[in-house]
Amino acid sequence: MQNFVLHLPTKIIFGRDTIRNIGPETVLFGKKILLVYGSGSIKQNDIYDQVTASLAEAGLTAIEHPGVKSNPVLSHVREGIELAKAHQVEAVVAVGGGSVIDSAKAICAGAKVNHDVWLFFKGKKGVKSKLPLTCVLTLAAAGSEMNGGMVITNEETRQKFGTGNQLLKPEVSILDPTATFTVPPSYTAYGAVDAIAHLLEFYFTTTDAATPVQDRFMEGLAINIMESCRKTLARPDDYQARADLMWCATLALNGLTAAGLGMVGFPMHMIEHSLSALYDVPHGAGLSVVMPAWMSWRAADSPAKFAQLARRVFAIKEKDQYRAALGGIESLKNWFREVGSPVSLRDLDIPESAIPAIAANSMDLAAIWRLKGYDIQVVSTILDKCR
């Protein structure tokens, strides 16, 4: 285990009937806020009414900024920054999943500077301060409700970049599992896939050979994510299953899973970002295509950790390391199929002829994330396994 510093400043309020806390928690940071949300689904399931009622009761004035896409775009973030500055808001409230919260984080950071917010994502500028951020989570997936990461797509350059900073962590996040009851089956599955991808990025890219605590922690989370996802798909209003899935997704990327692992990378996310930047596919759907391909490519040279996952999570009995690894990868792929997530470029309606362009698109992010060894040829080889 490596040396590490873990700081988790986000206050989590978890459980039924907790959305009403958003007003009292937010007013601690100011009276005028920017309310960021998506395309309007929260107006169909009573969440919008609960949030706005709580904000009004706390005496808050809300400037609304709806319209966040599932792959959030830079132009919408820039509009939000202009709104925040024009109205001199004191805090931001995000109501939605990772896309909404990521957009809100970018607005919080961008509202405090005079330069373009995209410079944060290009690694040209660092976040020094931000507006306070409170959240109501409506989708179990990204873990953005408790971490300092954010991902945005520049629709002009067709680049999807992610960046992170400890200052971007929300001040308060409200996690009410009932807010996810109406999430469509497809996005419930995609969210679970995303959470598993976060775990496996850490699990497989650490170079430390002695991480038994973190390994067991991540393996347990993966098992619980798969089990709770199955239950929610069978019964969308299963509170316990929704609660388990929501908390697992938060834990997967709030800092706890990576603690002590040393340097890790996000190569599967790097490749997927090009898929969704160029073809606007749901993030989790893209990951369920890329993950098995990357795993099989990496396992060919280093099968031991993949065999460990196969045996512990999927009960693979094969003694040969490489065969066990392949058995685990196929089991994961079968689970993706079971929950309705795609497993090939064909499933995403992306032609094989697009592979060179997708690989080329990924190079700028590979450089920013310092993923050495992922040149166009390597990424193309991995994408070939996605056919």
pLDDT reported for residue 217: 98
Per-residue pLDDT of the chain (387 residues; tens, 9 = 90+): 999 999 999 999 999 999 999 999 999 999 999 999 998 889 999 999 999 999 999 999 999 999 999 999 999 999 999 999 999 999 999 999 999 999 999 999 999 999 999 999 999 999 999 999 999 999 999 999 999 999 999 999 999 999 999 999 999 999 999 999 999 999 999 999 999 999 999 999 999 999 999 999 999 999 999 999 999 999 999 999 999 999 999 999 999 999 999 999 999 999 999 999 999 999 999 999 999 999 999 999 999 999 999 999 999 999 999 999 999 999 999 999 999 999 999 999 999 999 999 999 999 999 999 999 999 999 999 999 998
CATH class of 183-384: mainly alpha
| Residue found by looking up tokens 């598993």 in the block | 196
The token pair that represents 177 in the structure block:
């599992």
- Could you say which DSSP state residue 168 is in? G
pLDDT reported for residue 297: 98
Q: How far apart are CA 147 and CA 132, in angstroms?
A: 14
- Kindly state the greatest CA–CA separation across the chain: 64
Alpha carbon 49 to its chain centroid, in Å, reads 26
In 3D space, the residue among 351, 371, 185 whose CA is nearest the CA of residue 282 turns out to be 185
- Could you say which DSSP state residue 2 is in? -
In 3D space, the residue among 247, 117, 125, 119 whose CA is nearest the CA of residue 177 turns out to be 247
Task: Show the DSSP H helices in the chain as ranges.
Answer: 22-26, 47-57, 74-86, 98-110, 118-121, 185-205, 212-234, 239-252, 267-279, 283-299, 304-314, 321-339, 355-361, 363-368, 376-384
Q: How far apart are CA 43 and CA 73, in angstroms?
A: 22
Coil, strand or helix: which one is 166?
helix
Q: Which residues contact 115 (CB under 8 A, 6 or more apart)?
A: 125
Q: Amino acid identity of 171?
A: E
Alpha carbon 58 to its chain centroid, in Å, reads 31
The neighbouring-strand residues paired with 149 are: 164
Task: Give the end-to-end CA distance of the chain in Å, rounded to a whole number.
Answer: 37
The token pair that represents 142 in the structure block:
């990204």
How many residues in total does the chain contain?
387
Q: How far apart are CA 175 and CA 177, in angstroms?
A: 6
Q: Which residues contact 294 (CB under 8 A, 6 or more apart)?
A: 267, 268, 271, 382, 385
Name the CA dihedral angle for 256, 233, 181, 72, rounded to a multiple of 10 degrees.
Answer: 60
- Could you say which DSSP state residue 176 is in? -
| Residue found by looking up tokens 């984080």 in the block | 105
In 3D space, the residue among 337, 341, 294, 299 whose CA is nearest the CA of residue 316 turns out to be 299
CA-CA distances (angstroms) from residue 168 to 87, 148, 174, 212, 264? Answer: 21, 5, 16, 30, 20
DSSP string across 46-91: SHHHHHHHHHHHTT-EEEEE----SS-BHHHHHHHHHHHHHTT-SE
The residues spanned by each domain of the chain are: 11-179, 183-384
11-179 domain in CATH 3.60.110.10? no
pLDDT reported for residue 40: 81
